[in-house]
Amino acid sequence: MRLAQLGVTRMLYRNAQAGSLESGDVMVRVSPCEEDEVSIHIESKVSPRFSNAIRNTVRQTAQELGVRNARFEIIDHGALDFVLRARVTTALKRAMEAPTNA
């Protein structure tokens, strides 16, 4: 969060995912993308009533972690907002891990 406040941008090094396909959970897949943008694709039974909420949470969580360019695929099974935030956080942290072959 402090990083974001300082305007630091953090890189994603790899594709990553977090979460599950269980009811009440969400699978978040994230991949780095070239363009300076956050794109979000949502697959969810609740999207007719919560797609804006889902989008906002994903964007905000990415921003707090200083991530500016990422492609998200959200496969949601009715996850509450805090669950989504946790899964996005985990997926981004995993994607930020530097390559291990260094």
Partner 1 sequence: MRNRLRRSMMFVPGNNPSMIISAPVFRPDSIILDLEDAVSVNQKDAARDLVVEALRTLDFGSCETVIRINGRHTPYCEDDIRALVPARPNMLRLAMTEEPEDIVWADRMIGEVELEHDIPHGTVKLMAAIETARGVLNAERIARASERLVAMSFGAEDFTNSIQSERSRDGFELFTARALIVMAARAAGIQPIDTVYSNVDDDEGFRADVQRAKQMGFAGKSCVHPRQVAIVHEVFRPSESEVRRAEAIMAAIQEAERRGSGVIAVNGRMVDGPIVSKAERVLQLAQAVGMTKGGDTSGN
Partner 2 sequence: MAINAVGREVPTYVEGLGEFRPYAGVFATPPKGRRFGPTIRRTGGKKLLPSLRAAIEASGLKDGMTISFHHHFRNGDLLVNRVVNEIAAMGIKDLTLAASSLQSIHKEIIPHIRSGVITAITTSGLRGELAEVLSREVLLKAPVMIRSHGGRVRAIESGELKIDVAFIAAPNADEYGNLNGINGPTACGSLGYAFADAQYAECVVAVTDTLVPYPAIPISIPQTQVDYVVVVDKVGDPQGIMSGVTRLTRDPMELLIAEKACRVIEASGLFREGFSFQVGAGGSSLAVARFLRERMAATGVRGRFATGGITGYIVGMLKDRLIDAILDTQCFDLVAVESLRDDPRHVEMSASFYANPHTKTCTSDILDIMMLGATEIDLDFNVNVMTGSDGIMMGASGGHPDTAAGAKLRLVTAPLIRGRFPIVVDRVHTVVTPGECIDALVTQYGVAVNPRNPELKARLKDAGIDTVSIEELQERAERLTGKPEELALGDEIVALIEYRDGTLIDTVRRVI
> For binding to partner 2 (CB under 8 A), which residues are involved?
23-24, 45-46, 48-53, 76-81
Q: How far apart are CA 98 and CA 82, in angstroms?
A: 27
Task: Give the torsion sign (CA, 9, 10, 16, 22).
Answer: negative
**Which residue of 14, 29, 59, 94 would you call a contact of partner 1, by CB under 8 A?**
94
- Decide which of partner 1, partner 2, none touches 10; Cβ closer than 5 to 8 Å per partner kind: none
| 24 is a contact residue toward partner 1 (CB under 8 A) | yes
Q: Mention every residue, 6+ apart, whose C-beta is less than 8 A from residue 31.
A: 12, 15, 16, 70, 71, 95
Binding site for partner 1 (CB under 8 A): 18-19, 22-25, 79-83, 85-87, 89-90, 93-94
